[in-house]
Structure 1
Amino acid sequence: MSEDMLKTIKGLLASGRGDTKRLRNIIEEIKSGEPVVMSDYRYIQNLLESPDTPEKEQPVTPPPKRDTSLEVLRVRLAEGQISIEEFRVLKKALTEEE
């Protein structure tokens, strides 16, 4: 279950949904072997069940490559692989290509 929960939380982080700090703390608790407390579990479930209206109202189109790159950066940031400063520099470099 913890692997599925980690994937779910990383997906929420990548999509920019929820409180980043809280989601990172939940990831750290799972990685350290701690059980997910009920309030955190409900929080994640509410994020998954809440409608994401701006994206759902738009027609489905394949995302540009830089969106995938930004998602990877968000996940790396959430996992602590890069600092917020590194994230900002890389994000700026990716978005300047327009």
Structure 2
Amino acid sequence: MCRNIHTLHNFEPPATSDEVRAAALQYVRKIAGTTKPSKANQDAFDHAVDAVAHATQHLLDELVTTAPPKNREEEAAKARERAARSGRYAAAASAS
């Protein structure tokens, strides 16, 4: 799975349309193998992003859970903590 695509379900506040579109864009980029399509492929690329964003929004709207919503800031802090413990960002942290 693409590391830049994050869980969007069960957060307070809910995912915005910009977040849904960003996830769709990352997905299509990964599948297409490019971050910027050629002019010949731009329409197909844009159509795919629109379709994936639409399907994603429908999925998010229809999912149900009994779990309490997660707080975005708390989840981001947990992710930073996990990354620091794993050593993935040790070089960047020591450079600052």
TM-score bracket, shorter-length normalisation: 0.3 to 0.5
Greater per-residue helix proportion: 1
Which structure is larger by alpha-carbon Rg, 1 or 2? Answer: 2
How high is the TM-score relative to the length of structure 1? 0.33
Greater per-residue strand proportion: 2
